[in-house]
A and B are shown apart, each in its own frame.
Chain A
Amino acid sequence: MAETRLIQGNEACALGAIAAGCRFFGGYPITPSSGIAEQMVRLLPGVGGVFIQMEDEIASLAAVIGASLGGSKAMTATSGPGFSLMQEHIGFAAMAEVPCVIVNVMRGGPSTGLPTSPSQGDVMQARWGTHGDHPAVVLAPSSVGEVHELTVRAFNLAERFRTPVILTYDEVVGHTRESVILPDRVDVVDRPRPDEDPGSFLPKRVTPDGVPPMAAFGDGYRFHVTGLAHDERGFPTQDNAVAGALLTRLHNKIDDHLDEVADVEEYMLDDADVVLFAYGIVGRSAHEAVRRARDRGVRAGLFRPRTLWPFPSGRLAEVTAGVDRVIVAEMNLGQMISEVAGAAAATTEVVGHLRADGKPITPSELLETVLAQGGDRP
């Protein structure tokens, strides 16, 4: 029997993590994400897992990576300033191909900003925050139920592709209490394991789908892990051809499987003249604004990526072909709007409905923008 619960987004995240097989959590207190740690410390011992509160967010993600190398599914959770500190190890996890999940409950920034207010100011940092060229997989749920669903998905994608996955939602999603139906069971993906003899094991063997099988420390395979450019043996190299091939593979292992990663909610797009592009909590306001606009005879639609990165450029281009205007609604001063503008046809006008004062964007204010932008074009 599926279970109905009245819970906050942060609780749904913890429950989703446990359901996905997470058995290690390392974190550091920070608003508005602390609720996740406070749930994990209660849930993990009951399933044979381990919790630790580390000395900072840098150490938190380091511990998570260490646990993952030991074979555990592992997660950390943070907000704004802590997410900045984690960038170093997001890059390490991408380079060393260590599966892990990083939750960033977004609050107002920059710096300490507005600790208890929502924001979507970290979506570009989620893509490009750590240095160097690296792939990024970033998921953006908009409701408590979706937090549960996409937390499970974050673990599955991390394991499937041996990569860090970022789950990001704002303070409102994290703290809102909603009635959700939790599934009895979820589909769980485990990292690919080697089946060869330890003597011939190559920890970064190039495989047809680009994801090398991953052994755990202590399981009979001895190997080296490094954040330096490395060869198939996992050993540092300065060979430019090898380094270049590694970076290309790290990108291709995601880009060649976009069908497994992409995830978009499309609402009323078939005949839309004006399309709202929104994600996270704003996606819910946008959904309501589209419904109200339709009631008034305006052909509005919604494009809501649940996977923010890789950016769904191809699909957005398809659905906006022939569309007059795309309104990008986000709780920042314009971040995803540049991606939308890059993907939309030259004949499509892209405008922003942007807000970065710590208040969520409401359906009413979005409706006004839709009516102003969508109703009067010849």
Chain B
Amino acid sequence: MTDVRKYLREWAMPHVLCPGCAHGIVLKSFLEAVDQLQLDQDKVAMVAGIGCSSRLAGYADLCTMHGTHGRAPAFATGLKLARPDLDVVVVSGDGDGLAIGGNHLIHAARRNIDITVLLLNNSIYGMTGGQVAPTTPQGAIASTSPGGNSEASFDPCRLLTGAGASFVARVLAATPIEMTKTIVEAMSHPGFAFIEIVGDCPEYFGRYNKAGGGAEMLNFIARQGESVAVPLTSKRFVNHVPAPEPRPGLRTGVLNREIRPVYSGVRGAVSDEA
């Protein structure tokens, strides 16, 4: 374990995250990866959208940007094309990356631009107060699905594999050492790398679905290997919502890895990639 404080803006603390939220674990794992890769802090850019996960960028002592909702992959694309010398990492959430920003995410994957996307999936909109997200399991309670979510949810890793992401992995926020190892692999991968990090939102998801606090939720996800489908056992599960299909155990680890040409824009002889 490294002392990651040298990569933190301690002057920006205290942070905005709630007790029990796993986003802090993700930030530490990411900074551990930066340290293991021995990257120059001046040459690492962290580009975020809007939402709880996106606030992580502000606390990292790197070149950081907190952009607009869902658009981080597009900002990151411009930055990477203009500055191929930078390692560019996008930090995004499930609402940010898969709802409002879904289009930008799939096109960045399709191009195979050399950036890494960390998508922190807590199955709900946290910052705005617990609204239903494209990853909320069917039947789960959210402030805009008080009777239980009746929509199907995305499997982010299958979506990104289909879109052409050349590195796709899923890790649990409850396994930070595995997470660091996966982030190191992703950032070392030539091309577009995507990691879904399955975590919790005790403040909204947990509270609405009586799923317990942070430790209980993370434990459940780790033990069951079933996303944050914990609410399906909740007493508050509403009977008139069709029972969801049983979810297969969440596969973790590297789910797709291929080498294909890295996109570096339309440029002349100055290209130093692919």
Contacts and interface: CB of A to CB of B under 8 A. Distances in A.
A224 B57 contact: yes
**Which DSSP category, helix, strand, loop or mixed, fits chain A's interface?**
mixed
Nearest to A49: B267
B104 interface: yes
A341 interface: no
A24 to B, nearest CB: 6
A226 B265 CA distance: 26
A50 B83 contact: no
B189 to A, nearest CB: 21
Interface stretch (B67-75, B144-152, B164-172, B204-212): B67-75
A342 B185 CA distance: 62
Contacts of B75: 62-63, 65-66, 69
A24 B82 CA distance: 7
Contact of B74 (A49, A62, A222, A236): A62
A25 B43 CA distance: 23
B85 interface: yes
B188 interface: no
User: Size band of the B side of the interface?
Assistant: 35 or more
B273 to A, nearest CB: 11
B76 A66 contact: yes
Given A26-B78, A63-B81, A89-B71, 10 more contacts: A24-B78, A41-B266, A58-B71, A62-B77, A65-B78, A217-B45, A218-B43, A218-B63, A224-B64, A233-B11
Interface string A93-129: 0000000000000000000000000000000000000
Contacts of B61: 222
Which residue, of B9, B47, B66, has the highest number of chain A Cβ atoms within 10 A?
A: B66
B42 to A, nearest CB: 5
B265 A217 contact: no
Contacts, number: 151
A10 to B, nearest CB: 18
A234 to B, nearest CB: 9
A55 interface: yes
A44 interface: yes
Contacts of B58: 224, 226, 235-236
B268 interface: yes
B57 to A, nearest CB: 7
Contacts of A72: 82
B233 interface: no
B83 A51 contact: no
B253 to A, nearest CB: 30
B81 A69 contact: no
A54 B266 contact: no
Interface of A: 23-24, 26, 41, 44-46, 48-52, 54-56, 58-60, 62-72, 74, 88-89, 92, 216-228, 233, 235-236
B267 A62 contact: no
B32 to A, nearest CB: 19
Nearest to B104: A59
A49 B86 CA distance: 17
A52 B83 contact: no
A226 B65 CA distance: 6
Nearest to B62: A222
A224 B41 CA distance: 13
B265 A222 contact: no
B224 interface: no
Contact of A55 (B41, B68, B103, B266): B103
Contacts of B265: 50-52
Interface string B35-55: 000000111010100000000
A67 B74 contact: no
B257 to A, nearest CB: 25
B220 to A, nearest CB: 33
Contacts of A23: 82
A56 B103 CA distance: 9
A85 to B, nearest CB: 11
B71 A59 contact: yes
Interface string B70-109: 0100111111111101100000000000000001100100
Nearest to A235: B12
B45 A218 contact: yes
Given A66-B76, A69-B65, A220 B266 contact: no
Contacts of B85: 218
16 contacts: A44-B266, A50-B267, A52-B78, A55-B104, A55-B107, A59-B71, A59-B107, A67-B79, A74-B78, A217-B79, A222-B61, A223-B63, A224-B9, A224-B66, A227-B67, A227-B68
B86 A218 contact: yes
A173 B78 CA distance: 29
Contacts of A49: 267
Contact of B77 (A44, A66, A89): A66
Given A52-B266, A74-B82, A63 B67 contact: no
A222 B78 contact: no
